[in-house]
Amino acid sequence: MKNAGTPQRAAAADQGPAAHQVAPGQHADGRTRHAVARLLLERGPITAAAVADELGVSPTAVRRHLDVLLAEGEAYTRDASARGRRGRGRPAKLFLLTEVGRARFGHAYDDLAVAALRFIAETDGEQAVRAFAERRMAALVANHHEALAASGSPAERAEVLANALTREGYAASTRRVGSGEQLCQHHCPVAHVAADFPQLCEAETAAFAEVLGTHVQRLATIANGDAVCTTHVPLARSERGESSARTDPKTAGPVPKDRQETAPIPDGGEPV
């Protein structure tokens, strides 16, 4: 007997009258494709014919969904072994999910990381967690040591660091704001873990200061509920340029005239 959580039940729902009421069939297609992907996850490697038979949908419909999964990099194929073939002809294609395809069903990596760090803290103390965080950042920075070492000013190094972080999955950028540069990380791969272990953010900030060769100030973090991880990098007067317009450190937009005399300047910076 199949329960409500199986892909077979999900696909069957697409065949009912309600499915035909969905505008241009997009939602129905999505549910069926998810059911196909789930079957590949649970039963793969599996043939298209077996998927169609298991879900009770037409082979043509199944192949259409499989083609989309292949095109989006969520699935791949391999030939069935000769031993399992019946008769002559081309070997049947077996379908499997890629890591990208598996990601649609979620991972427990964050939970595992939190559990591991909690165990380290309980057995070896908070300092051991800090040492782990520092070693992790040292390894990340080491991957881009040559590019960072070749940079000159803190502003140039901040841009190189942003590019390096982007390649590591942080979607980083820089922007000139008032008395310095703001290093913005629009994504954090370890945000959920860092919410429980702020040592990760602290080690990251310390590593930034070391590679940039200047004091930096962390203004916001995704782990703390902010939209972006923002780090202020103060610049020397010679790097600030001759811009006459002041900017708001929080918005990166112009400071209203009635606030220009009292606009907040992040620690480590000076009025322009």
Q: What residue segments make up the domains of the chain, in order of their start?
A: 7-103, 109-259
Q: Which of 269, 219, 210, 198 is nearest to 240 (CA)?
A: 269
Confidence of residue 202 (pLDDT cuts 50, 70, 90): very high
- Longest alpha-carbon distance in the chain: 86
264 upstream amide cis, omega within 30 of 0: no
Is the pLDDT at 198 greater than 90? The verdict is yes
Is the pLDDT at 270 greater than 60? The verdict is no
Mean pLDDT of the chain: 79
Strands (E), 107-223: 172-177, 180-185, 217-220
Is the pLDDT at 93 greater than 80? The verdict is yes
Report the DSSP pairing between strands 93-97 and 172-177: unpaired
Q: What angle do CA 136, 159, 272 make, to 5 degrees?
A: 120
Of 80 and 186, more confident: 186
Of 256 and 216, more confident: 216
Which whole number is the average pLDDT over 119-144?
95
Q: Which of 165, 166, 184 is nearest to 174 (CA)?
A: 184
Which whole number is the average pLDDT over 48-74?
94
Q: Give every strand in the sheet of 217-220, ordered side by side.
A: 172-177, 180-185, 229-234, 217-220
Phi, psi of 251 (to 5 degrees): -110, -15
Whether residue 89 contacts residue 78, with contact meaning beta carbons closer than 8 Å, is answered with: no
Can you tell me whether residue 188 is helix, strand or coil? Answer: coil
| 7-103 topology per CATH | Arc Repressor Mutant, subunit A (1.10.10)
Q: What angle do CA 173, 175, 179 make, to 5 degrees?
A: 140
Is the pLDDT at 90 greater than 80? The verdict is no
| 109-259 topology per CATH | H-NOX domain (3.90.1520)
Confidence of residue 252 (pLDDT cuts 50, 70, 90): very low
Which whole number is the average pLDDT over 31-59?
92
Looking at residue 242, its pLDDT comes to 39
Q: How far is CA 74 from CA 41, 68, 80, in A?
A: 11, 8, 19
Which whole number is the average pLDDT over 248-267?
40
